[in-house]
Chain A
Amino acid sequence: MHVIALSRKWPDTHPRAFLALAAVSWVALYWALIPASEALVAALPVDRASHLGGALQFFLYDTPKVLLLLTGIVFVMGMVNSAFTPERTRVLLAGRTEGIANVMAASLGVVTPFCSCSAVPLFIGFVQAGVPLGVTFSFLIAAPMVNEVALTLLFGLFGWRIALLYLGLGLSVAILAGWIVGRLRMEAHLEDWVRDMPRIVATADDLRLTLSDRVDAGFAAVRDIVGRVWPYILAGIAIGAVIHGYVPEAFMASIMGKDAWWSVPLAVVVGVPMYTNAAGVIPIVQALLAKGAALGTVLAFMMSVIALSLPEMVILRKVLKVRLIATFVGVVAAGILLVGYVFNAVL
């Protein structure tokens, strides 16, 4: 953080030079990382084949790699995201009919910066401006579930195939679940005061962002997101490391393997009341996979932890009646179940 505090003056005046230099140093650091952590583990007085050695190795390899990836990607996404404010997203979605708009809403959910404490104001703001209910839900499902933090961690720990798969499936669940909620015509199950709010015409200021504004937005995103999630990542990787080092190989195969048909619904039922963000759950997911858990089951677990949570339901209850919340949870959970089963069947 010292580096950032010191360098905040000249990146504003020379944004291009700053970006070029930052990109070069980032790549250099990334290449130096694996040899450096390898040397570190070798220097420790622990036997690499022991339980402790395995756990330490996992922790020391993954922590710097994931944090470095995350900082880089969050910075770039911060620059990109600065063009997508919730107000502009609303303008894009207002007055559209369902279908294509669900696809747009889910995709915009990925790039629009979104804090879970803003879920309700955002929901009301969308509905007030005439964004269809189902389209609003597509946005609300995609925004927390598919984001740069989740995708970066998946890429860092499992590679680009699984990251892309998660992106595609997460978007599909958001699009379909939103579309179904829209088909069910549940507008009557909004709380009365929300339905009675005056309609408004969505407008947004024309943003004129210079490159240095975007660099500032990148710094702000790193400070906000990386500053907030790093303890979760550390804790997640530490738990993952313990599982990695101490839990016997193939231990999870019997509980979370492909052959146990009940494992997918169980993963969802266990996942919903759990409340953490992508950063905390993914390192644990990695360790489970390494011990023989099936990919579909693990992805279903992860999606239900991130997309559906009890605290969120409590907040949504202020604007939605119980039946609509129940429908929302039911449809999303069904989508996640389907993802789990399809994966286990295909892979």
Chain B
Amino acid sequence: MMNVKVLGTGCANCRNTIALVQAVAREKGLTIELEKVEELRDIMAYGIMSTPGVVIDGAVVHAGGVPSRQKVEGWLANGSPS
């Protein structure tokens, strides 16, 4: 199962990102493991500087701002980060 982590300290953009990933997964009928990472030290361990960040199966695929729907669809379709 694909593991998706959303990194962010709980700001509006982070919540929007989580909602977007959930919505896309539901549309595609995929079951994914979605985690929120809100602790700063854990976020920083991924080496990103702007939140929200998205990590898929351990690899950072996005940082800064809510990702576009097409991007999210791409991640979930590939099954692995491009």
A-to-B contact residues, CB < 8 Å: 85-87, 90, 113-115, 117-118, 120-122, 124-126, 128, 193, 197, 200, 220, 224, 315, 318-319
Q: Which residues of B contact A (CB under 8 A)?
A: 8-9, 11-14, 40-41, 43-44, 47-51, 64-66, 68
A87: chain B residues at CB < 8 Å are 49
26 contacts between A and B (CB under 8 A): A85-B50, A85-B64, A86-B64, A90-B49, A113-B64, A115-B11, A115-B50, A117-B14, A118-B49, A118-B51, A118-B64, A120-B40, A121-B40, A121-B43, A121-B44, A121-B50, A121-B51, A124-B44, A125-B44, A126-B49, A128-B44, A197-B44, A220-B65, A224-B66, A315-B9, A318-B40
Q: Which of A121, A200, A318 has the most CB of B within 10 A?
A: A121
Complex interface: chain A residues within 8 A of B65 (CB): 113, 115, 220, 224
* Contact in complex: A200, B9 (CB < 8 Å): no
The reply to whether B47 and A193 contact each other, CB–CB distance below 8 Å, is no
Are the CB atoms of A122 and B9 closer together than 8 Å? Answer: no
Question: In the complex, which of the residues B40, B41, B48, B66 has the most CB atoms of chain A within 10 Å of its own CB atom?
Answer: B40
Compute how far the CA of A197 lies from the CA of B43 in the bound complex, rounded to whole angstroms.
13
A residues in contact with B64, CB < 8 Å: 85-86, 113, 115, 118
CB distance from B40 to the nearest CB of A (A): 6
| Distance between Cα atoms of A115 and B50 in the complex (Å) | 8
Please list the 7 inter-chain residue pairs (A to B) with the smallest Cβ-Cβ separation, ordered nearest first. Answer: A117-B11, A125-B49, A118-B50, A86-B49, A122-B49, A86-B50, A118-B51
CA distance A122 to B68 in the complex (A): 22
Closest to A125 in B: B49
When the two chains form the complex, which single residue of A85, A113, A128, A193 contacts B41, counting CB atoms closer than 8 Å? A193
Chain B residues closer than 8 Å to A121, beta-carbon distance: 40, 43-44, 48-51
Q: How far is the CA of A117 from the CA of B17 in the complex (A)?
A: 14
In the complex, A62→B59 CA distance in Å?
47
Chain B contacts for A124, CB-based, 8 A: 40, 44, 49
- Flag if A117 contacts B8 (CB, 8 Å): yes
Residues from chain B with a CB closer than 8 A to the CB of A125 are 44, 47-49
User: Measured between C-beta atoms, what is the minimum distance from B17 to chain A in Å?
Assistant: 12
CA distance A90 to B50 in the complex (A): 12
5 further A-B pairs in the complex, CB-CB below 8 A; given A118-B51, A200-B47, A315-B9: A117-B9, A121-B43, A122-B49, A122-B50, A125-B47
In the complex, residue of chain A having the shortest beta-carbon distance to the beta carbon of B66: A224
Kindly state the separation between the CA atoms of A124 and B11 in the bound complex, as whole angstroms. 18
Closest to A318 in B: B40
Contact A319/B40 with A86-B64, A115-B13, A117-B11 known, Cβ cut-off 8 Å:
yes
Report how far A318 CA is from B40 CA in the complex, Å.
8
- Name the distance in Å between B7's Cβ and chain A's nearest Cβ: 9
Closest Cβ neighbor of A200 among chain B residues:
B47
Q: How far is the CB of A67 from chain B (nearest CB, A)?
A: 21
Q: What residues of B have a CB within 8 angstroms of the CB of A85 in the complex?
A: 50, 64
CB distance from A217 to the nearest CB of B (A): 10
Residues of A within 8 A of B14 (CB): 117
Q: Which residues of B contact A197 (CB under 8 A)?
A: 44
In the complex, which residue of chain B has the Cβ closest to the Cβ of A124?
B44
- Which of chain B's residues has its CB closest to A114's CB? B50
| Minimal beta-carbon separation of A309 from chain B (angstroms) | 14
Smallest Cβ distance from B20 to chain A, in angstroms?
14
Q: Which residues from chain A contact B9 at a C-beta distance below 8 Å?
A: 117, 120, 315
